């Protein structure tokens, strides 16, 4: 009977710890730095992981062993690609690798297979994240014949998530880090 009681107490403790709300461990300095970068609109997100929408074609690529080491169909290591999204005042620029399927026509351009855009975003909004600390930045932008809807979530401490929807491709998500951007970095 005693082992059953111990297991019950252990499960109760485990459940209470798992269900307890987690507080942000961000320092006031990290929050202030994030707020300043966002209000100045001077930051760069460097993508480390791509999370494409899994499809039969991606499964075939994975089965052929064509994904980078340590990657899976739903999480691809892109650390060495230099993929980024930059906000520089009133304009944005992105050069991110793309994994997924193109849904609409468009020329096959071997030099432009990723998600690339540059310009002034439309419908830009910056709001607090719905859960926890951080900010959500949303905008639309067009490049040639393709339109993109971008949602960037920035968290204190430098972590970022990107969601990109396209008029021509399946959705893709990215995870990475952000930092202040200065023009000397280009």
Q: For the whole prediction, is pTM greater than 0.75?
A: yes
Query: By the 8 A CB rule, do 115 and 164 touch?
Result: yes
Residues 6 or more apart in contact with residue 90 via CB below 8 angstroms: 41, 120
Helices and strands (DSSP H and E) totals, the chain: 3, 10
pLDDT tens profile 142-178: 998 899 999 999 999 999 999 999 998 899 999 999 9
Give residue-wise pLDDT tens across range 72-91: 888 999 998 899 999 999 99
- Percent of the chain scoring above 90 in pLDDT: 53
CATH architecture of 26-185: Beta Barrel (2.40)
- Residue 33 backbone dihedrals phi, psi, to 5 degrees: -65, -40
Q: What percent of the chain has pLDDT over 70?
A: 81
- C-alpha 36/C-alpha 67 separation (Å) is 38
Helix residue spans in the chain (DSSP H): 2-19, 28-40, 56-63
SS3 content of the chain, % helix, strand, coil (to 5): 25, 40, 35
């Amino acid at each position: 009977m005693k082992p059953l009681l111990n297991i019950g107490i252990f499960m109760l403790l485990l459940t209470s710890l798992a269900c307890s709300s987690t507080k942000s461990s961000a320092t006031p300095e990290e929050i202030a730095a994030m707020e300043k970068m966002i209000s100045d609109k001077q930051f760069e997100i460097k993508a480390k992981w791509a999370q494409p929408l899994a499809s039969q074609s991606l499964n075939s690529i994975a089965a052929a062993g064509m994904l980078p080491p340590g990657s899976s169909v739903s999480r691809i290591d892109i650390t060495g690609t230099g993929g980024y999204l930059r906000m520089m005042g009133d304009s944005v620029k992105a050069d991110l690798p793309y994994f997924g399927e193109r849904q609409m026509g468009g020329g096959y351009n071997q030099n432009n297979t990723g998600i690339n855009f540059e310009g002034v975003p439309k419908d830009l909004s910056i709001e607090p994240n719905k859960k926890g600390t951080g900010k959500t930045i949303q905008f639309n932008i067009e490049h040639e014949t393709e339109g993109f809807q971008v949602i960037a979530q920035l968290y204190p401490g430098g972590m970022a998530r990107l969601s990109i929807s396209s008029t021509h491709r399946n959705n893709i998500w990215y995870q990475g880090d952000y930092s202040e951007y200065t023009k000397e970095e280009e």
